[in-house]
Structure 1
Amino acid sequence: MSVVSGHLSLARATAFEAVIGLEIHAQLLTATKIFCGCPTSFGAAPNTQVCPVCLGFPGALPVLNRAAVDFAVRAALALGCDVQERSVFARKNYFYPDLPKGYQISQYELPLALGGGLDLHVNGLTKHVRLTRIHMEEDAGKSLHEGFADSDRRTYLDYNRAGVPLVEIVSEPEMRSSAEAAAFFEKLRQILLWLGVNDGNMDEGSLRCDANVSIRPVGDTTLGTKAEVKNVNSFRYLQKALDYEIERQIDVVEHGGRVVQETRLFDSAQGRTFSMRSKEAAHDYRYFPEPDLPPLIVDAARRAAIAATVLELPERRMARFVRDYGLPTSDADLLTQTRGLADLFESVA
């Protein structure tokens, strides 16, 4: 199928609209993992940064990393979220080879933060996209399908990444185009990088995006059946994956079929998505409270102390550069892409 990036045909654009929500997984820049003392540095030899806790050995107990909590709260406050005084970790039960425990420690019913949102600027228009929640969890390991003499017959597993702290940032399904979704992802990356809680390195997998997308007739308010496109790691690929997926779903409907709820992968070489598996519902994961961790308490004093570390954010600093230094908006935007560049400018201005 041939898809033109960012644009539906006029007939299709007036007949259908896309409904897009994003789930962003951001590794937190802590020196050690979320529940143990193993290092989190990228690029070490496989399975050299592991211990009984992150490998899920019987009797090994998790201990929550305080710095990971502080980073997660900092991100939540910067995004305008309501940080909950009490949140609870839960076991998300599923089988996958790169999940050594057979479950992932995450949060479900009582997440770290609720609400918040981002203002997007796309095609000369400003749009506010709300956040649903931010929760903390541990990353999984990594399946290695290439790089070995027998890779045509075997997959190897590297558990160095298992237990690296993550925040999952979930948007409401309020984006209507691939351009809006890419703008959301890009702005969120900028803020996380600015705060110093994530390194923004999508090539290394420290920032990943899952996109939930469905279609519906223009004017309809009900949600259609969604497909989830997993682990997209660039803004350009996110747009291409969504453009293809929107067209694919419209083709299915126009030919009398029904869109199936499923998880799909994007093949960048072919520019298309492929079915990976049927999409699980929450009850399939059999969530229950993590028995080895107490509830996480973030009281008002701690929230206030972390809020004091949330620096002037890029958009506000850009506006100040325009106001105080008389810069064109385009120049101010360029200078505030990273905090280091903005600081350098002010040091010599």
Structure 2
Amino acid sequence: MKYNTLIGLEIHCELSTNTKIFCGCKNEFGADVNTHCCPVCLGLPGALPVLNEKVLEFAAMAGLAFNCDIAMNSKMDRKNYFYPDLPKAYQISQYDIPLCSDGYIEIKDEEGDSKKIRIQRIHIEEDTGKSLHDVEGDTLLDYNRCGVPLIEIVTYPDMSSPVEAMNFLEKLKETLLFTEVSDVKMEQGSLRCDVNVNVVREDGVRSKIVEVKNLNSFKAALKALEYEEKRHRELLEKGEDSKKETRRWDDVKNVTISMRSKESVDDYRYFPEPDVVDIKLDDAFMDRVKDMLPELPDTKRERFISTYDIPEYDAKVLTSSKEIASYFEDVMKLIDNSKLVSNWIMTELLRRVNDEGIELDELKFAKDDFAKLLEFISSGKINNSAGKKVFREMFETGKKAEEIIKEKGLVQVQDEGEIKKIVEEIVNANPQSIEDYKNGKDRAFGFLVGQVMKASKGKANPQIVNKLLKEIIESK
């Protein structure tokens, strides 16, 4: 029996505003507990919320980035429910008139074809506090997160596999990073994901939708979706059905566990928030937001391919973050060799940056120093192997490339007469390798090249070595 999987996502994304959504408290992760909260955060009697305009700007920017319509007139609503980390016993959110609606993100499906995943809505709301559970089983509450601005992004159930859901999340995260409306750090709770999943049998019978809450990594989301997809299919094969419920993912046991029956909209008793005025945007506001919107990843990727004549794979790596893309373009202003710059950024630079866990702006050398190193390689002053040695020292000490090359005597030997002497010595010392090469064993030629480079201490120009080696072998 064949099954189709239906997956929809609800993504909560904290916005990187300086202050919270309804008060002047600092919006900052990692502060001492309960030091960034006030009567408004805590919902104390008489404390009135005032909507932060920057929240509207960031939310509208995210909406435009995801091809949404922006509501020029909307409002805030009160969502009522009790939970220990929600001191007011209600959350200020949006219900029937979200700020953004009817958008989409274009992804690649499992076959590599383009597919549009529709976004139903993006609305703004306040975050809740955080429950902290200690080893003795007690629960403490940190209200610093109360009132941190969120956008909730809700999709239609357009994803038909866990892999498609991951592709969507990666694209969403990448786009949000480029807009800089959020740092999307899942380990800090800046991005959290709920997944809704059910399956449809080919005869039309479908399982009930299950929601898996508060997944704090893409890996957890993928595993939870794969688990639920399999569980739903097995239930239908046994003639049973899933319950319409909310579940959580257990990272240790790699299973989902039932938490409660799924709430309906009526359970929240929504009504218009009486303490916040209605939201009315104008053309000047929207023009400002459009001007703030940067070049987005897909557009930048296409421009990199056409402008710099680099492969699609290179363009994808180089546009994986705004910082990497900017670094590449800044270096390209200093040296006109896109393939060389692309290769070195993707291999040596990003590898070391990732290994050390640092950001590009923390490098000990400047961009013009990096460009100068690549210029030395491109011009043949040093070979690629020597370039790697120079780069390692630049990375560790911050010294300039020219200084390191001079200190270590790494200037490449270009003199054909000098190289020819070394090549002749190696050829005369390795008659068996010459014979093997003539008998079609290409490895023998690579061995001979290696011996010449070793004898020259890595300084001989490899192109000249290859040319002379072939000429001398053919003359024998």
Task: Give TM class, smaller chain.
Answer: over 0.9
SS in 2 for 1:46: coil
Alpha-carbon distance in structure 1 between the residues aligned to 2:48 and 2:59:
22
Distance 1:94 1:168, change over 3 A: same
Match of 2:141 among 133, 157, 171: 157
User: Relative to structure 2, which stretch is displaced further, 251-260 or 294-303?
Assistant: 251-260
Q: Which amino acid aligns with 1:129?
A: I
Structure 1 moving runs of 4+ over 3 Å? none
Match of 1:140 among 113, 117, 128: 128
Q: Measure, in 1, the Cα distance between the counterparts of 2:316 and 2:69.
A: 28
Q: 2:273 aligns with which of 290, 299, 320?
A: 290
Q: One-letter code of the match for 1:156?
A: L
Amino acid aligned to 1:244: Y
| Deviation at residue 17 of structure 1 after TM alignment | 1.4
SS of the residue corresponding to residue 308 of structure 1 reads: helix
- Contact 2:207 2:236 survives alignment (8 Å): no
> Counterpart of 2:129 in structure 1: which amino acid?
G
2:306 maps to: 323
Deviations 1:120-158 (A, max 9, x none): 113322111010001000001111113xxxx33311111
TM-score by length of 2: 0.68
Larger mean Cα displacement after TM superposition, 63-72 or 252-261? 252-261
DSSP 3-state at the match of 1:225: coil
Provide the residue aligned with 1:20 in structure 2: 7
For residues 209-259 of structure 1, the C-alpha deviation after alignment (integer angstroms, 9 at most, x for no partner) is 110111111374x86421111111222211100000111112222222221
Q: 2:199 aligns with which of 190, 193, 215?
A: 215
Say whether residues 1:198 and 2:185 are aligned partners.
no
Aligned to 1:41: 28
Structure 1: segments with no counterpart, 5+ residues: 1-13
Give aligned pairs, total.
Answer: 331
> Which residue of structure 2 aligns with residue 61 of structure 1?
48
Separation of aligned partners in 2, 1:330 and 1:271: 33
Distance 2:208 2:214 in 1: 20
SS, match of residue 54 in structure 1: helix
Aligned CA-pair RMSD = 1.2
User: What amino acid maps onto 1:178 in structure 2?
Assistant: P
Question: Relative to total residues, which structure has the larger strand share, 1 or 2?
Answer: 1
Residue aligned with 1:143, SS: strand
Change (3 A) 1:223 1:165: farther
Say whether 1:257 aligns with 2:240: yes
Deviations 1:63-84 (A, max 9, x none): 0011111111111011110000
Does residue 114 of structure 1 match 2:101? yes
The reply on whether 1:79 has 2:62 as its aligned counterpart is: no
Query: What one-letter code is carried by the residue in structure 1 that aligns with 2:293?
Result: V
State the one-letter code of the partner of 2:46. Answer: G
Verify the 8 A CA contact 2:198 2:209 in the aligned structure 1. yes
Matched, 1:300 2:283: yes
One-letter amino acid matched to 1:72: A
2 CA distance for matches of 1:218 and 1:304?
48
CA–CA separation in structure 2 for the residues paired with 1:291 and 1:320: 48
| 2:207/2:232 contact within 8 Å kept | no
Highest RCO, 1 vs 2 (Cα 8 Å, sep ≥ 6): 1
**What is the CA–CA distance in structure 1 between the aligned matches of 2:192 and 2:237, rounded to whole Å?**
32
| Structure 2 residue aligned with 1:3 | none
Asked if the contact 2:159/2:165 (under 8 Å) is kept, the reply is yes
The corresponding residue for 1:338 is 321
TM-aligned CA deviation for residue 300 of structure 1 = 2.1
Q: Distance in 2 between matches of 1:270 and 1:333?
A: 35
Counterpart contact for 2:21–2:51, Cα < 8 Å: yes
Considering only CA atoms, is the larger Rg found in Structure 1 or Structure 2? 2
Deviates more, 1:29-38 or 1:298-307: 298-307
- Aligned equivalent of 1:92, options 79, 97, 119: 79
- 2 CA distance for matches of 1:93 and 1:249? 31
Matched, 1:177 2:161: yes
Shift of 1:87: 0.8
After superposition, what is the alpha-carbon deviation per residue over 1:15-69, rounded to whole angstroms, capped at 9, x for unaligned? 2111000011000001111001111111111111110001010110000011111
Number of the residue aligned with 2:113 = 125
Cα offset, 1:207, TM superposition: 0.4
Tell me the secondary structure at the aligned position of residue 184 of structure 1.
helix
1:150-200 deviation digits (Å, cap 9, x = unpaired):
x33311111110100000011111000000011111110111111000101
Greater percentage in helix: 2
| Residues in 1 aligned to 2:2 and 2:321: alpha-carbon distance in whole angstroms | 40
**Aligned-partner SS, 2:224:** helix
SS of match in other structure, 2:257: strand
Tell me, yes or no, if structure 1 residue 103 matches structure 2 residue 90: yes
TM-score (norm 1): 0.92
Cα deviations across residues 301-343 of structure 1 (Å, max 9, x unaligned)? 2112101111110011001111111111011000001111111
In the superposition, relative to structure 1, how do residues 223 and 304 fare at CA in structure 2: closer, same or farther (>3 Å)? Answer: farther
Look up the equivalent residue of 2:117 and give its one-letter code.
Answer: V
